[in-house]
Chain A
Amino acid sequence: MKGLKGLLEENPRLKVFIYAGKGGLGKTTLSAATSVKLSSLGKKTLVFSTDPQASLSDVFEQNVFGKGEVKIAENLYVMEIDADKRIHEYVSSIKKKIIDMYKLDRLPQDIEEYIDSAAAEPAMYESAVYDAMVDVVTEGKYDYYVFDMPPFGHGIRMIAIADVISKWVDKITELRRQAYEYGRVAASLKRSKLTYEDEILQELEYIRGRILKFRDIVMNTETTAFLMVMTPEKMTILDTEKALEMFQSLGLKLTGIVVNQVYPPELASRPDAPSYLKKKVEEQKKYIAEIADKFGKYVIAVTPMLNREPKGLDTLKIVAEELWSPKKRLEDYI
């Protein structure tokens, strides 16, 4: 297994590490461990999470939720965005803009309701998260970015439709130009004034830019390592198979898989090992063999099940070292 070190040696231009996978497999732990290792190499690293349950705060034992970029250690920065707050601010700014632009006392009820219901949609939440990702990467303040992705919903389809949306924006822009031309002629005949055409075209360009940039962050294999986390269990094997199918349909390329929460097999071979542990390790071997068979070429590292919660910098370093350059081969776990 080549580990993260191998990935970086193969592709020194890597800047972004994305951890995806379902909840509870240790995405947050691995994201944190990755950032700990990368920052220890003297590279300015940002680890970014959007988890409303503030798990990075737990892992680093410091409340960073919704506080922007917080420095945790030398070169190591954490950002845990509060997506709900972000949506709320965004929506309020739009409402305020309408009220200011048209000097209203308040918004008409149907518009208010529409904006509020749009804000409550789950896709809105995902879009806000992805938009925040685009923000930090575009800003470019860091050498490395580590993203702890939320489990995917419909929003991820945005990358599949990025092209479609881009073409739509072209069409819409063309429509706007036509409308503008007609409007201008009519306005010059009528001597009335046209409003906001330039602003609309600018907004459309902006929207296209954001969507394409997001797709680039997630899909550009030159600069992004897209990693999946799994555990040696039947259910995650099945889930990972499904996820790979979905990625393929989206055109997303998987860079690697990390197998997490693995019991060190040598524990079971000790004479005083309880049968409970032996049984667990036996079962684990079976599933790791299945993982090697199905996803062998993707597996870059195996990280251990710890005897304590993965919290605090010192504990994370244990995971980080295994992740960086694994001491064993995958076969050693079978």
Chain B
Amino acid sequence: MKIFDKLREVIEGLTVHGQSTAILRVKAQIDNLFMLITLGDMLGVPILPPYYSLRLMPYVFPNIQNWKRYMLRERDVTDLVS
């Protein structure tokens, strides 16, 4: 099995890796937007009443750290270029 897995990863890397990374990047952006709307409260952007948005917390929990880091990251002009 192990060798097959390795082989699969190699073929994956050669073929669809770029594609799936691009797709995941779009998904990450959508996810960020979603987090902002539902838990924006955490960063001071209240949209949903917190009583209800807390219900979503368990499902988005794993993304929270990354999302906060992404949202609170310092940005500068060079970000606009990339």
* Interface footprint category on B: 35 or more
Contacts A98-B58, A200-B56 given; indicate if A178 touches B30 (C-beta within 8 A): yes
Complex Cα–Cα for A262 and B54 (A):
46
A-chain residues with CB within 8 Å of residue B58 when the two chains form the complex: 94, 97-98, 101
A196 to B62, CA, bound (A): 11
Which of the residues A131, A168, A175, A191 comes within 8 Å of B51, measured between beta carbons? A131
Residues of B within 8 Å of A108, CB to CB, are: 65
Residues of B within 8 A of A111 (CB): 57, 61, 64
B39-82 CB contacts (< 8 Å) to partner A: 41-42, 47-62, 64-65, 68
**Chain B interface SS verdict (over half):** helix
B1 within 8 A of A: no
**Contact between chains at A172 and B30 (CB < 8 Å):** no
How many residues on chain A are close to B (CB under 8 Å)? 45
The one of B54, B64, B65 in contact with A94, judged by C-beta atoms closer than 8 angstroms, is B54
Q: How far, in angstroms, from A143 to B11 measured CA to CA in the complex?
A: 67
Question: Quick one: closest A residue to B55, CB to CB?
Answer: A203
Interface flags for A170-191 (1: CB within 8 Å of B; 0: not) read 0110011011001101100111
Seen from chain B, the residues whose Cβ lies within 8 Å of a Cβ on chain A are 8, 12, 16, 19-20, 23-24, 26-27, 30-31, 33-34, 37-38, 41-42, 47-62, 64-65, 68
Residue positions of A touching B, CB distance < 8 A: 90-91, 94, 97-98, 101-102, 108, 110-111, 114-115, 118, 121, 123-124, 127-128, 131, 155, 158, 165, 168, 171-172, 175-176, 178-179, 182-183, 185-186, 189-191, 196, 199-200, 203-204, 206-207, 210-211
In the A-B complex, list the 5 residue pairs whose CB atoms are closest, starting with the nearest: A127-B51, A182-B27, A189-B20, A196-B59, A179-B30
